[in-house]
């Protein structure tokens, strides 16, 4: 994969977020008991106690009569103590800028703006108001979160600056939750707390007028209390900043997990090019996330549970899992779920099978997954003996036990709890990562969490289905990281290409002849061809190139010349060529009213694997490379792999491997194998051509690229320019 480096901008953004997150004493400007959000905020502060409680919260309301929320209230920011860090602003949108000016005068350097009525309203006046708010905040050196945000919670210091209903107790952990939706962010932290999944902090970014989700990721990358970053994204506003922040997290060894919502097609954006039809918006998001080690999930529940599993498992996790349960049914379910998640359940080694078989309570057949049956509960140490034997097997990367968790005092007093506890204690020193999971999804009670914690056991919340999916995604991330570790030995990405100086393509763009010439200048091998203006010249060219040949009409406006009858294939002799030349001329005149700008004569190519190689300009991620099965199969099969540019040779190798048609490149059923390295270089040359064009490229498509052995040629090409 291409390696995106952390940027100076990301480091500066992290410092700004740190100023906000490390605040200790808060002023609420516009405090009113009529505000539901402020009622939640004060209620959470009073319910939590600690650092977030009075007297560290001070209220401002110029119209207040007596106490507000049971607290003394001052009429002006100027009347506040001088040692405050943060202002939580909850006044009407027209008065927010004045409030920012006042807190700046008072020496407060951080602000959360709860107020709505800014850019989210969608009208020009509201957008202008937000722009002015940012201008004033920057001028007065105020770090601003929002507007239109619920705020944030720092669970490591106890600071609550979030206008939402929060649980009385939020387990402290190493998961940072960053959400572009305040309501979703609130739901996520509540959901995590109910399942005893610990968080370090939570931030709702609102309109992101100043601080963005990318800035929060950069801060999380440097935060010593955070190892897992859980993102709820509605959009990625600046892809370069986002990827630089993710690079900081990757460099720090932290896992980034994202639920990105909003799916749509990019077909209208790229008009004529097939590449646009197969590279929809969400396809590009998927590719960018995979390319940069971001674990993608598709629901709020998955986000919390996957983050919880990432936190509990710690570092790298492999695909080879040993699974043990006292139920054959759940063993079968684990196998089915694991296969869909990309996990493997390898057969245990002969020594492991022999060791397990010696245990009196062992099952008659020792498989993986392993059904111990109920006999493993007849003796307190039986399950522990079996799991210890399996944990020593070098064929498994991790061991998972499906067990019932004790959620009630009655369950805790049950003999089964003693059986599981003994296994947990023995496995706590195992060199193989070992986890406990409930066979079915259930809320993790405080009692159960304390039970596993007291026996040094790592318990994964969410039930078997959620946990297995999470482990599959984490295993894929581990493999990505292993490949990334070899990055210094891989080819450098095409980072430094610069546009060449060339004649402007003009309003209609380039015809195929000029596009072919340009591609050739950038290292793309194109099929031989001659541009001719007469029938006589066409005959000479065909004799020179050798029959059979292809005739194509030439013209900058003829992007779909095949549909107009402007292409004739497989011309075998001079008579057929004369007829084809006349036919192409007549059909183009009938379709456009004018003759073509001559024709292109090329030798007919028939054997080989047809591929499409294209680059499309995505509005968020920039130039995106698509490689897939080409020719007539492009839209029918939709067998395509995507990467956001720049890419390395290793990236392109991976793209080819991802194709369902990859097997065809290796000489399937006696066919000729393709020189993959040569194909990779041709694909890189197309990517370079898109990035170094004389004008921004909307789409550049080569379809097909015909690959047979070491002969790899571009047969047809189309370029569209951005407006």
In a domain, 677, yes or no: yes
User: By C-alpha distance, which of 255, 258, 257 is closest to 315?
Assistant: 255
Residues 712 and 692 in one domain: yes
Give the 3-state DSSP-derived string for 447-482, with helices as H, strands as E and coil as C. Answer: HHHHHHHHCCCEEECCHHHHHHHHHHHHHHHHHHHH
In a domain, 475, yes or no: yes
* 243 domain residue, yes or no: yes
Judge if 546 and 455 occupy the same domain: no
The string of pLDDT tens digits covering residues 125-171 is 999 999 999 999 999 999 999 999 999 999 999 999 999 999 888 99
pLDDT (mean) for 533-548: 95
Per-residue burial over 466-476, b = 16 or more CB atoms within 10 Å of its CB, e = otherwise: bbbbbbbbbbb
Which one of 485, 504, 538 terminates a domain?
485
Is the pLDDT assigned to residue 15 strictly greater than 70? yes
> Measuring CA to CA, how many Å separate 366 from each of 86, 334, 339, 430?
61, 16, 20, 21
Q: 39-59: per-residue pLDDT in tens?
A: 999 988 887 644 344 448 999
Where would I find the beta strands (DSSP E) of 92-248?
Answer: 110-113, 143-145, 151-154, 159-162, 172-179, 199-204, 228-233
For residue 6, pLDDT beyond 70: no
Q: Domain of 562?
A: 528-603
Please write the tens of the pLDDT for every residue from 348-391: 999 999 999 999 999 989 999 999 988 888 899 999 999 999 99
Contacts 24+ apart (CB under 8 A), 210-213: 210/134, 210/137, 210/138, 210/143, 210/144, 210/145, 211/13, 211/16, 211/17, 211/20, 211/143, 211/144, 211/145, 212/13, 212/237, 212/238, 212/241, 213/178, 213/180, 213/242
Residue 507 lies in a domain: no
- Give yes or no for residue 106 having a pLDDT over 70: yes
The CA-atom distances, in angstroms, between 97 and each of 115, 132, 133, 571, 578 are 11, 8, 6, 74, 76
Same domain, 27 and 75: yes
DSSP, res 671 = P
Identify whether 523 is part of a domain: no
Alpha helix (H) residue ranges in 593-675:
634-637, 649-658
457 and 481 together in one domain: yes
- Beta strand segments in 588-672, E: 599-603, 609-618, 622-629, 640-644
| Residues 100 and 132: beta-carbon distance below 8 Å | no
- The residue among 671 and 476 whose pLDDT is bigger is 476
Alpha-carbon distance of 715 to 209, in angstroms, equals 48
Average pLDDT over residues 166-190: 94
Asked if 98 and 151 sit in the same domain, the reply is yes
Q: Are residues 387 and 444 in the same domain?
A: yes
Q: Determine contact, residues 100/89, Cβ cutoff 8 Å.
A: yes
Is the domain of 453 the same as that of 560?
Answer: no
Say whether the peptide bond before residue 55 is cis (omega within 30 degrees of 0): yes
**Domain end: 288, 310, 332, which one?**
310
pLDDT in tens, 379-418: 999 999 999 999 989 999 999 999 999 999 998 888 889 9
Q: What is the pLDDT of residue 49?
A: 47
Q: Does residue 299 sit in the same domain as residue 230?
A: yes
Q: Which structure tokens are listed for 695?
A: 């004008």
Smallest Cα–Cα separation from 514: which of 483, 473, 555, 569? 555
**Per-residue pLDDT, 316:** 81
Same domain? For 296 and 376 the reply is no
CATH number, domain with residue 468: 3.40.50.261
Alpha helices in 546-648 (DSSP H): 574-592, 634-637
Q: Is residue 2 part of a domain?
A: no
- Tell whether the model's pLDDT for residue 109 goes beyond 70: yes
Could you tell me if 466 and 583 lie in one domain? no
C-alpha distance from residue 514 to each of 275, 525, 664, 690 (Å): 20, 14, 32, 14
Omega before 181 cis (within 30°)?
no
Take residue 41 and report the two structure tokens written for it: 């905020």
How many CB atoms neighbour CB 395 within 10 A?
15
Q: pLDDT of 113-124, one tens digit each? A: 999 999 999 899
pLDDT at 639: 83
534 and 477 fall within a common domain: no
Is 153 in the same domain as 182? yes
> Is 508 inside a domain boundary?
no
Q: Within a domain: residue 506?
A: no
Where a domain ends, among 280, 295, 310?
310
Residue 636: its pLDDT value, please? Answer: 53
Rounded-to-integer distance, Cα 328 and Cα 507, Å: 68
How high does pLDDT run on average in the chain? 89
For the cut 50, the answer to whether the pLDDT of residue 496 exceeds it is no
Residue 589: CATH number of its domain = 3.30.1490.20
**Domain count of the chain?**
4
pLDDT of 50 reads: 40
What pLDDT shows up at residue 265?
A: 46
Beta bridge partners of 613: 627, 702
28 in the Ramachandran plot: left (φ > 0), alpha (ψ -120 to 50) or beta? beta
Share of the chain above pLDDT 70, in %: 91
């Amino acid at each position: 994969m291409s390696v995106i480096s952390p940027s100076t901008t990301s480091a500066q953004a992290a410092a700004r977020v740190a100023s906000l997150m490390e605040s200790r004493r808060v002023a609420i400007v516009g405090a009113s008991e009529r505000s539901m959000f402020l009622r939640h905020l004060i209620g959470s502060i009073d319910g939590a106690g600690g650092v977030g409680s009075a007297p560290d919260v001070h209220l401002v309301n110029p119209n207040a009569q007596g106490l507000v929320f049971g607290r003394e209230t001052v009429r002006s920011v100027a009347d506040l103590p001088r040692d405050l860090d943060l202002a939580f602003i909850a006044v009407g949108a027209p008065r927010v800028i004045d409030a920012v000016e006042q807190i700046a005068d008072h020496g407060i350097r951080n602000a959360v703006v709860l107020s709505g009525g800014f850019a989210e309203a969608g009208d020009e006046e509201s957008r202008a108001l937000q722009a002015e708010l940012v201008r004033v905040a920057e001028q007065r050196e105020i770090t601003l979160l929002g507007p239109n945000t619920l705020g944030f919670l720092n669970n490591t210091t106890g600071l609550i600056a979030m206008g939402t209903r929060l649980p009385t107790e939020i387990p402290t952990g190493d998961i940072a939750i960053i959400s572009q939706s305040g309501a979703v962010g609130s739901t996520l932290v509540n959901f995590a707390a109910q399942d005893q999944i610990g968080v370090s902090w939570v931030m709702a970014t609102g309109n992101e007028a100043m601080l963005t989700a990318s800035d929060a990721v950069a801060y999380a990358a440097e935060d010593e209390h955070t190892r897992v970053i859980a993102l709820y994204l509605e959009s990625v506003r600046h892809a370069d900043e986002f990827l630089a922040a993710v690079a900081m997290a990757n460099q720090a060894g932290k896992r980034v997990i994202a639920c990105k919502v909003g799916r749509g097609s990019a077909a209208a954006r790229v008009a004529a090019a097939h590449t646009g039809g197969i590279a929809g918006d969400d396809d590009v998001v998927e590719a960018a996330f995979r390319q940069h080690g971001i674990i993608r999930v598709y629901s709020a529940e998955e986000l919390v549970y996957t983050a919880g599993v990432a936190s509990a498992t710690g570092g790298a996790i492999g695909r080879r899992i040993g699974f043990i349960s006292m139920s054959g049914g759940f063993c079968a379910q684990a196998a089915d779920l694991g296969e869909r998640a990309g996990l493997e359940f390898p057969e245990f080694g002969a020594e492991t099978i022999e060791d397990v078989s010696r245990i009196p309570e062992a099952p008659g057949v020792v498989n993986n997954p392993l059904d111990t049956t109920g006999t493993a509960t007849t003796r307190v140490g039986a399950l522990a003996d079996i799991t210890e034997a399996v944990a020593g097997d070098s064929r498994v990367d991790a061991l998972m036990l499906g067990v019932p968790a004790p959620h009630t005092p009655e369950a805790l007093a049950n003999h089964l709890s003693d059986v599981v506890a003994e296994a947990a204690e023995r496995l706590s020193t195992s060199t193989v990562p070992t986890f406990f999971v409930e066979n079915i999804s259930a809320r993790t009670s405080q009692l159960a969490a304390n039970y596993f914690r007291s026996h040094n056991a790592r318990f994964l919340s969410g039930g078997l289905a959620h946990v297995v999916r999470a482990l599959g995604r984490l295993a894929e991330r581990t493999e990505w990281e292993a490949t990334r570790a070899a990055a210094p030995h891989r080819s450098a990405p095409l980072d430094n290409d610069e546009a060449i100086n060339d004649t402007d393509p003009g309003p209609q763009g380039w015809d195929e002849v000029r596009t072919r010439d340009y591609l050739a200048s950038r290292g793309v091998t194109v099929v031989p061809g001659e541009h001719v203006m007469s029938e006589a010249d066409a005959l000479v060219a065909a004799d020179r190139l050798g029959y059979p040949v292809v005739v194509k009409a030439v013209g900058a406006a003829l992007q779909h010349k095949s549909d107009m009858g402007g292409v004739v294939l497989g011309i075998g002799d001079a008579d057929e060529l004369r007829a084809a030349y006349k036919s192409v001329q007549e059909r183009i005149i009938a379709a456009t009213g004018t003759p073509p700008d001559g024709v292109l004569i090329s030798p007919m190519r028939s054997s080989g694997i047809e591929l499409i190689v294209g680059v499309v300009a995505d509005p968020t991620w920039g130039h995106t490379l698509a490689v897939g099965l080409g020719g007539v199969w492009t839209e029918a099969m939709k067998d395509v792999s995507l990467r956001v540019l720049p890419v390395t040779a290793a990236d392109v190798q991976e793209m080819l491997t991802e194709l369902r048609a990859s097997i065809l490149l290796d000489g399937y059923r006696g066919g000729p194998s393709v020189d993959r390295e040569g194909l990779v270089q041709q694909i890189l040359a197309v990517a370079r051509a898109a990035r170094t064009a004389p004008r921004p490229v909307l789409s550049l498509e080569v379809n097909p690229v015909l690959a047979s052995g070491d002969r790899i040629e571009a047969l047809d090409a189309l370029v569209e320019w951005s407006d």
